[in-house]
Structure 1
């Protein structure tokens, strides 16, 4: 039967289904809704979107699995609260672990890989070293209360961190603290950008995000007080678990 899938599942054709799902997401992204808000009742949403309650529940379940929504028992369905607020002008010395603690969560991390490589011309320029010089590439998944919220990749000139190895990063070690205590390297300021992009399949899997999810990606260089680059950092942030906070003073 040509309409076998539609008949048995009670769903509209896939294209129409995805359009309705996108319509719901667009509705929830309007200024009327903030993270942590309860969404309208299923009956009201189904009427607004012109779909059956069964189809709506399937969409809601997918958004829950994707971390966009969460159910709170009999209280209803809510937009997921932002897990971590990162100050846009954060002091470099804070480090991500301290920021997680300031958000009332327990920080942890998982080492994805620790790799030695030769610096490309771009990385060499950012770190102010010669092309081909040895660097360390450290990729870590950062978690708050066991939920992944950002994926960080650090590029370090190997000559400044002799003896640093993967074992040093296996016990939720703070890289900032390790650099300060072992090598006397203290970050004083950073220069970088934040852009919106689409996650790679690896990033999506590690951050437990939906296909096609955007990411807030920070790329920047961290300098010491002598304006020497300590580290080039790429931080890919989950769009529903991280918000960058802006604060200005007169």
Structure 2
């Protein structure tokens, strides 16, 4: 019977690396291991499972990609922290979407930059503005438990948001709270699209990712109580650190696959800069 390299014969049974994958999960459960606890070595796992070290290494590669374990070269393999649960359909601040075992995880926000630019046709359509009308582009980074894990971009039309309080954002305060207090905009509901992708160079640098990592990219539009869009947003999550829950129903359906191809903002070149503009923000 033909065999698969590093695995069992093609007979419908699990491949050997899959057996090791399940074995590691069983060890964690049976021994009551917690995040940070050490797992058996590669050679120990190979002996327990009666497989080659090649099969064990492949299983550990898969477990690491799935966010189940963490490996430190020369030190060992350890149980990873559980994923953070997030419900992006919850309106309002990002903090309110995180549901980590019923508790609120420590979250800090750092402002990367604020600039003014010209929206792509897709963004202009989503915000119901003319393509030639300028928009704010705001980049922020979210850290949970001291680790950079979410990269976020907000795009707001200047016609509805004429000024941004950059000092408040620089202090890590909520953008949505500012929009509600200053302009009366309340995030009543959103339309969102999710995709798993390889990170861009910008995302890799900001979230300290590797070429092997994957991200979950969420793009959406926020609507106020009148059904008018006031914000296009994009959030990039480390795919191995989060579990997503969704509920509710979409009212607008404007984010199909073709509309996600160009989500860009071009630099604004007018000599008259609106209030609150940063000149050193990232390019769209």
RMSD of aligned alpha carbons: 3.8
Q: Size of the alignment, in residue pairs? A: 215
Gaps of 5+ in 1: 1-15, 17-22
- Partners in 2 of 1:146 and 1:183 — Cα distance? 32
Report deviation, 1:209.
2.1
List aligned pairs for 1:109-124, cutoff 5 A. 109-124=109-124
Report deviation, 1:44.
3.0
- Partners in 1 of 2:134 and 2:103 — Cα distance? 36
Moved over 4 A (4+): 23-40, 46-49
Report deviation, 1:167.
2.6
- Partners in 2 of 1:25 and 1:113 — Cα distance? 45
Which secondary structure does the structure 1 equivalent of 2:53 belong to? coil
Query: Is contact 1:100–1:144 with CA below 8 Å preserved after alignment?
Result: no
Aligned to 1:4: none
Aligned to 1:236: 236
Gaps of 5+ in 2: 1-5, 7-15, 249-284
Q: Which has the larger helix fraction?
A: 1
Report deviation, 1:68.
6.2
List aligned pairs for 1:64-213, cutoff 5 A. 69-70=69-70, 77-82=78-83, 84-88=84-88, 90-93=89-92, 95-100=93-98, 103-213=103-213
Aligned to 1:11: none
Query: Is contact 2:148–2:207 with CA below 8 Å preserved after alignment?
Result: yes
Which secondary structure does the structure 1 equivalent of 2:162 belong to? coil
Report deviation, 1:120.
2.1
- Partners in 2 of 1:135 and 1:145 — Cα distance? 32
Distance change (3 Å), C-alpha of 1:24 and 1:104: farther
